[in-house]
Structure 1
C-alpha cells in the first residue's frame, strides 16, 4: 500500500482514530498544491512583504477556511500542481476530497512567498480539525531554480530566508488555531518544521505536540546545540526511506526511522513511494549501503570547503545551470539523455571563473568517492579473507 491506497480504504474519522504519522505525511505532501486563489490567507501576511519579496497570495480570499472538497477546482488545475511529481499531487487532492477521514478538514492561513533576488521559495498552510488540533504544513522545494538555490544555500548559511519565514509563520498563525499544534513537512518542508519548532516563542513551543520531518535535510554543523534540541527531544519524528539521500544531508540531532519504498535511489525521496501496511509504515532496520556510502561521501566532501568556498561553488553550479538552457529543475533532475545534453551544454557555455571552480569541486568529489570506495572495498576483502 501507499498513501493513496490508504485514503481509499481508511474511513475512520479523527474522532474515531487518532492522528497518525501516515496522516502527517499526507498533509505534508498536499502542501505542494498551490492554493493561492482558493484558501484564505494568513491574516498577517502583509508583515512578510519585505523589500522585493513577493507575497504570491496577497489577494487571496478572506474567510475562516475551505475544505478539500472546496479546493477541488478544475479551473485552477493548470497552475495548482507543482514539484517533481505534480500528477501524484493532483491524485492526492482528489483522494482527500473523497476521504471521509479528511474531507472536512479546514485549510486556512495560506502563505506563499517567492523572491528570486533573495533566493526565497516558501509556502505554508494550516489544516484544522474542529477545535481539536491543527497541523501546520510547510511546502518542500518546487521545480523553480530559486527554490533549489535556497536549498543549496543551506549548506553554508543558516538561517536562509525560508527558515526565518517558518518561525514567523508559526508564531503568526498559532493565535487563531486550536491549542494542540503539530508541525510537519516533506523534504525542505521537514527542515523548516524542525527549525520553526526549535526557534518558536516558548509559549507557542509548549503547544507543539509533534514535529514531523519526512526525509528533510539537516543543518550545517553547530546551528543547534544538543540543549536546543532537548526541548523537543521526544516530539520530533524523523522518517527517511531506505535509499535516503536528501534526509541524510548535513547534521541532525534527532534519531530517525527508515521506511520501505517501492523505488530506488533519489526516486525513493517521494513520499508516494513509501510502503504501508494498513495504517502504519513498513519500517526497515537501516538505510541501504548505497545511501550510507552517499552520506559519507557528501559529508566528507562538504567538510572540505569553508562556508565562503561553498558559497562560491553553489554560485558556480547555478551559473552552469543557467547556461544549460534548462527551463526549470525538473529538466536537470529527470535524468536521461536530456539531462546529459544539458550538462554538456552547461560545461561548454559556462565562463570563467565558474568553470575552474566547478572543475576543482568535481575533482575533490572524485577523490572522496575513490578514497571511500577503496576503503570500503579493502574492508570487504579483508573480511572475506578471515
Structure 2
C-alpha cells in the first residue's frame, strides 16, 4: 500500500515545476514538524534564525555515524526516514526552517510547539503547529478542549501566528496534526482580519474540532472556506468536538489509534493525493463521536473537568507519565486499570454516563496500543469495563 513515504521515494527528485505542490507535500512538511530539531543542533546552528535543513541533516549524520538512533514518541523511525528522503533528493533539498518554538510547561499544563518551513525556489511558506507529544500532561490538555473555550496553547498559538503573519509576506499555508490542527484553525480564527487575508489555506489532519461558540464567530466564518479537514476512517482524536467544513475521509493501512499516524495513511500515486476511503467512518469512530457529544451535551464544564482530572491525574500519580510507559507487563496494566476504576468514587447523578464513556474510551485506546498484545486474562480490567453497553 502506498503512503507518503512511497510517494517521496518516487518523487524526491521531481521538481515542483514538473509536479506541482499537492496535499501529500503539505502533509509531509507537516509531519516532520514533529521532529525535535533542538536534538539536531550544534553550535553551528541557531534556531532563532533561518536554517537550511540539508545542512542540519548533513551535520547530524556526521555526528550520528556508527551510532544507533534512539527513537522515541516524536523521533520515530518513519519520521527519520521521511526526513532523510526529503533531503536526499532535489524536490526538498532547499527546504528551510525558521521561527522554531518549543514551549512545554507542566506548571501551566501547556504543550506548545510551532515553526515555519520555507521553499525559497517557489516562495512557499508553511506554518506548522505541532500536535501532542507522548506526555500525559499533553493529552490532558487535549481533553480540556471539551470543557474550556481556550486552553493555554490556544493563546500561545494566536500570539505566534500574529507575529509570524506580520513578519512574512503572504500567502501562507497553516497546518497541524492532532491538537496542532485545532491550534491552526483556532489561531487563524482569532488573528486580525487583515492578517487572515495572508492565509491561503488551513489544514486539519485528524484534529479535534472547535467549541460551538468559536464556529459561530465572525473570525471563523471569514476563514471557513479555507479550512481543509482530513481524517482516517477510524478517527479517534478527530471526532472530538465539531467542525462544519467538509471532511475528507482517508484510507489507512492500520486500525484504531494506529490510524492517527499519518505515515499509515494511504496515498493515491496516480492523482498525487491522499486516497479517499471507499466507506465512511468505522463503528468505533462513530461510537466515539457519539460519546464525545454526550460528554459535551449532557455534562457541565465542571463535570467534564472532574472526569478528566480524575482520569489523567490518577494515571499520572500511578506512575504512568507518558504513553511509552504502557509497557507489556501485568504491573503496568494493573496500574492503568486501577486508575480507570477510580471512576467508581465519583459522586454524581451522571455516574452511569461517566462509566460507559470511560469504558468506550478505555477500550478504544488501550485496545489498539501495546496493551492489546496481552492475553485477556492477564489484563485485570475493572468489572464495569467488561459490561456491555446495554448494562
Task: Give the match's secondary structure for 2:146.
Answer: coil
Question: Are 2:184 and 1:185 aligned?
Answer: no
Match of residue 7 from structure 1:
8
Q: State the distance in 2 between where 1:115 and 1:236 align.
A: 29
Q: State the distance in 2 between where 1:343 and 1:120 align.
A: 23
Question: Are 2:230 and 1:239 aligned?
Answer: yes
Match of residue 218 from structure 1:
209
Q: State the distance in 1 between where 2:107 and 2:142 align.
A: 15
Q: State the distance in 2 between where 1:309 and 1:107 align.
A: 42
Where in structure 2 are there 5+ consecutive unaligned residues?
A: 361-384
Match of residue 313 from structure 1:
307
Residue 52 of structure 2: which of 52, 66, 72 is its match? 66
Cα distance change on mapping 1:132 and 1:177 into 2, 3 Å: same
Task: Give the match's secondary structure for 2:149.
Answer: coil
| Alpha-carbon offset, residue 327 of structure 1 | 3.8
Residue 146 of structure 2: which of 128, 142, 155 is its match? 155
Task: Give the match's secondary structure for 1:32.
Answer: coil
Q: State the distance in 2 between where 1:148 and 1:231 align.
A: 30
Tell me if the contact between 1:83 and 1:141 (Cα under 8 Å) persists in the aligned partners.
no
Q: State the distance in 1 between where 2:71 and 2:164 align.
A: 24
Task: Give the match's secondary structure for 1:247.
Answer: coil
Residue 145 of structure 1: which of 121, 128, 136 is its match? 136
Match of residue 367 from structure 2:
none
Match of residue 101 from structure 1:
91
Q: State the distance in 1 between where 2:285 and 2:75 align.
A: 22
Residue 287 of structure 1: which of 281, 285, 289 is its match? 281
State the number of aligned residues. Answer: 352
Residue 245 of structure 2: which of 240, 254, 272 is its match? 254
Question: Are 2:109 and 1:119 aligned?
Answer: yes
Residue 343 of structure 1: which of 323, 336, 346 is its match? 336
Task: Give the match's secondary structure for 1:150.
Answer: helix
Q: State the distance in 2 between where 1:341 and 1:114 align.
A: 29
Match of residue 298 from structure 2:
304
Deviations 1:57-93 (A, max 9, x none): xx94453322245245144899996536722222222
| Alpha-carbon offset, residue 271 of structure 1 | 0.3
147-156 vs 115-124, greater mean Cα deviation:
147-156
Match of residue 89 from structure 1:
79
Q: State the distance in 1 between where 2:214 and 2:47 align.
A: 38
| Alpha-carbon offset, residue 360 of structure 1 | 7.8
Match of residue 329 from structure 1:
323
| Alpha-carbon offset, residue 100 of structure 1 | 2.0
Match of residue 175 from structure 1:
166
Where in structure 1 are there 5+ consecutive unaligned residues?
A: 41-58, 375-386
Cα distance change on mapping 1:141 and 1:360 into 2, 3 Å: farther
Q: State the distance in 2 between where 1:104 and 1:242 align.
A: 34
Tell me if the contact between 1:220 and 1:250 (Cα under 8 Å) persists in the aligned partners.
yes
Q: State the distance in 2 between where 1:104 and 1:360 align.
A: 59
Q: State the distance in 2 between where 1:88 and 1:199 align.
A: 34
Q: State the distance in 2 between where 1:244 and 1:295 align.
A: 9
| Alpha-carbon offset, residue 228 of structure 1 | 3.5
Residue 208 of structure 1: which of 199, 221, 243 is its match? 199
Q: State the distance in 1 between where 2:17 and 2:41 align.
A: 24
160-169 vs 359-368, greater mean Cα deviation:
359-368
Q: State the distance in 2 between where 1:200 and 1:372 align.
A: 46
Q: State the distance in 1 between where 2:265 and 2:52 align.
A: 28
